[in-house]
Amino acid sequence: MTDHDLAIEAAGLCRSYHTRTGWLRPQRKTIQAVRGVSFTVGRGELFGLLGPNGAGKTTTIKMLNTLLLPTEGSARVLGHDVATDPVEVRRRIGYVFGGDRGLYERLSALDNLRYFAELYGVEAREQLPRIHELLESVGLKGREGERVEGYSRGMRQKLHIARGLLHRPEVLFLDEPTIGVDPVAARELRQMVADLVAAGTTVLLTTHYMAEADQLCDRIAVIASGTLRAEGTPTELKDRVRKLDVLEVEVHEAAGDEQLRTLRATPGVEQVTVETRGPVDTVTVHAQPSAGNHGAVMAALAGLRTGKVTSREPTLEDAYVSIIGASGATGEQ
């Protein structure tokens, strides 16, 4: 891939913060939010950036869209350096983040888009046609006269996307766009993103929803504790755990530390995670496929009231958990 084919280039990006702790004897502390992150995104590609909370995803995006300066390293968007040529970068990008920030609640959707069209320098004669085109495409036509304070979470996210597309950006940063959105609205938003990419827009997406990343992304990078842990297509990442069996066991009482230690020490077992769903825990075991492994797993859980036991193919979520688990990262910084 030549430089002309690249939309985003990140090379050794680092970002540190200085904080003070304590009151009587305050101490300065340096936190490294991003540590030497490097990757490239091709034009027209949908690139996913996955990682736990506090892993450095949003900090990385903010460096790429000029909201933060890198402490070290460099980045270019469409050939323009984010540190030395930020104005040219901003003219070519859009930024959409999850949540309620970034809109004026007491204004209507139409007035919000008019305001941002002026802010983004959209030609006056193009503003209304562009706004009505976007309202139609995001499914808000007919509701544009209502105040945003009465909008649902899904409607707000659609308006966020419309706002980010007003100036026809070549690169769009989507930071958890479907967070807190109901399943129907999330499906509509995913289709909108897929349509944007099909039309030639380059998209960098962060999300916590593995199925969403698997469905949408051409390539994915996994970041944890500020460093890049893995990169590849969804299939390539899943191939990392394809050799493993995944066994899910419903447990109707909490598994004790001793039982979990025994399970993790069972020959062939590579990883164990526990997810609480109401009164039931789901113990997920990644193990080498071999005769007797399932029996050994159930023996380690002896004494607990178990329910449904399921064996399945590994998913992108399994690959993600394996990558994060292997790095020892929690996402807390």
> What CATH number does the domain containing 291 carry?
3.30.70.260
Give the tokens for residue 242: 């394809």
Is the per-residue pLDDT at 331 higher than 50?
Answer: no
Q: Tokens standing for 144?
A: 């544009």
Q: How far apart are CA 69 and CA 91, in angstroms?
A: 17
Whether 330 maps to a domain, the answer reads no
pLDDT at residue 265, rounded to an integer: 84
Task: Provide CB contacts within 8 A for 93, sequence distance 6+.
Answer: 65, 77, 169, 170, 171, 172, 173
Give the pLDDT band (50/70/90) at residue 100. Answer: low
Q: Which helix (H) or strand (E) holds 293?
A: helix 293-300
Q: Is there a contact between 274 and 264 (Cβ–Cβ < 8 Å)?
A: no
**pLDDT for res 18:** 82
Any domain includes 325: no
Give the per-residue pLDDT at 97.
80
Mean of all residue pLDDT scores within the chain: 87
Q: Do 218 and 71 lie in a common domain?
A: yes
Q: Which of 213, 238, 263 is the last residue of a domain?
A: 238
- 329 located within any domain: no
Rounded to a whole number of angstroms, the distance between the first and last alpha carbons of the chain is: 35
User: Of 90, 231, 205, 105, nearest to 159 (Cα)?
Assistant: 105
pLDDT at 220: 96
Instruction: Examine the domain organization and report whether 195 and 216 are in the same domain.
Output: yes
Secondary structure letter of residue 254 according to DSSP: P
Q: What is the pLDDT of residues 101-112, one digit of tens each?
A: 788 999 999 999
For residue 137, being part of any structural domain is answered with: yes
Q: What is the mean pLDDT of residues 239-249?
A: 80
Helix (H, G, I), strand (E, B) or coil at 161: helix
**How far apart are alpha carbons 6 and 40 in whole angstroms?**
7
Q: What is the CA radius of gyration of the chain?
A: 23
DSSP 262-298: HHHTSTTEEEEEEEEETTEEEEEEEE---TTHHHHHH
Residues 87 and 147 in one domain: yes
Q: Are 54 and 332 in contact (CB under 8 A)?
A: yes
Q: pTM score, two decimals?
A: 0.81
pLDDT of residue 173: 95
Dihedrals phi, psi of 272, to nearest 5 degrees:
-135, 130
Whether 273 and 205 share a structural domain: no
- Inside any domain, residue 187: yes
Q: Do both 233 and 104 map to the same domain?
A: yes
**Does the structure show a pLDDT above 80 at 21?**
no
Separation between Cα atoms, residue 75 and residue 81, nearest integer Å:
6
Residue 33 and residue 128: Cα distance in Å, rounded?
41
The range of the structural domain enclosing residue 291 comes to: 243-312
Q: Between 18 and 135, where is the model more confident?
A: 135
Query: Do 210 and 85 fall into the same domain?
Result: yes
State which of 238, 267, 282 marks the end of a domain. Answer: 238
Q: What is d(CA 7, CA 161) in angstroms, rounded to the nearest whole number? A: 20
Residue 162 shares a structural domain with residue 37: yes
Rounded distance between C-alpha atoms, residue 89 and residue 64, angstroms: 9
More confident residue, 280 or 95: 95
Per the structure, the count of domains in the chain is 2
For the residues 320-329, what does the mean pLDDT come to? 75
* Backbone conformation region of residue 53, classed left if phi is above 0, alpha if psi is from -120 to 50, else beta: beta
Least confident of 184-198, 214-228, 237-251, 283-297: 283-297
Note whether 232 and 285 are same-domain residues.
no
Q: Where are the beta strands (DSSP E) in 79-150?
A: 80-81, 93-97
328 occurs within a structural domain: no
The verdict on residue 319 lying in a domain is no
Helix, strand, coil: what percent of the chain each, to 5? Answer: 35, 30, 35
Which residues does 123 contact at the CB level (< 8 Å), separation at least 6? none
Residue 111 shares a structural domain with residue 191: yes
